[in-house]
Amino acid sequence: MLPPPAITARFDVVTEEVSSSRFRWSLLAVRDTNRLLDAITPDQFEADGRLPYWADLWASSPALAGHLRQRPGLAGKKLLELGCGLGLAGIAAAQSGATVLMTDYEEDALEFARFNAAMNLECRELSRVTFRCMDWRIAEIPETFDVIIGADIAYERRNFEPLLSLVRKLLRPGGAFLLADPDRDTGREFVRLAGSGGFSVSEHRSPVNHRGRDLTVILSEFLRKEEG
């Protein structure tokens, strides 16, 4: 399956083979993300601190994808992915039977996610996946979700409160928010903040081999505490 000209005209791309547990995916990615960094002007960065993090496949994504492929009870659930990037975790959720809305701040990320979804999903799975450009700070989504997921999205403290506010707004009662993070200090801070702000949190460590390196990703599951 060839990538569309809308992608290849602007990006030097490569197809990566990704695995987690016994599951495998093929993902279209940017060959050299440093070239995207070099193309950002000071004015563009000053506007909102935007960097092309979406273009890289971070270790948290395959760890979360592997978890979702083995997680029971996803079939028939409505699932929202925050910061989908190249789309791997959302693809895994769709393969497990969920109806998935992939979102990202960057339209370019959504172009790659659409192609990767089409490359990895069967027609019936792809029919349950939609895409939307979204800014956490001003998001207006008139629906709620059984599951919300994010891989490597708690890396900037300025996003903590908007992220938690969005999850509180969009997560259905009894639903779960799943966060994968490579055990960063900021990730641990986010978990502590969520724990003091109305969520109960459980964690487990997930080993992952990412591009030849053995790493550990923390998978955190957030459930809304009962009020009263």
226: confidence class by pLDDT, cuts 50, 70, 90? low
Domain ranges of the chain: 5-224
pLDDT digits (tens, 9 = 90+) for 98-140: 999 999 999 999 999 999 999 999 999 999 999 999 998 888 8
Q: Which of 147, 159, 209, 151 is nearest to 180 (CA)?
A: 151
Q: Which tokens in the block code for residue 70?
A: 């083995």
**What Rg, from alpha-carbon coordinates, does the chain have?**
17
Q: What is the pLDDT of residue 47?
A: 52
pLDDT digits (tens, 9 = 90+) for 12-65: 999 999 999 899 999 999 998 888 876 666 565 555 556 677 888 999 999 999
The CATH number of the domain covering residues in 5-224: 3.40.50.150
Do 112 and 7 meet the contact criterion of CB atoms below 8 Å apart? yes
Q: What is the pLDDT of residue 36?
A: 80
DSSP label of 76: T
DSSP line for 147-198: EEEEES----GGGHHHHHHHHHHHEEEEEEEEEEE-S-HHHHHHHHHHHTTT
Indicate whether 228 pLDDT > 50: no
pTM greater than 0.85 (yes/no): yes
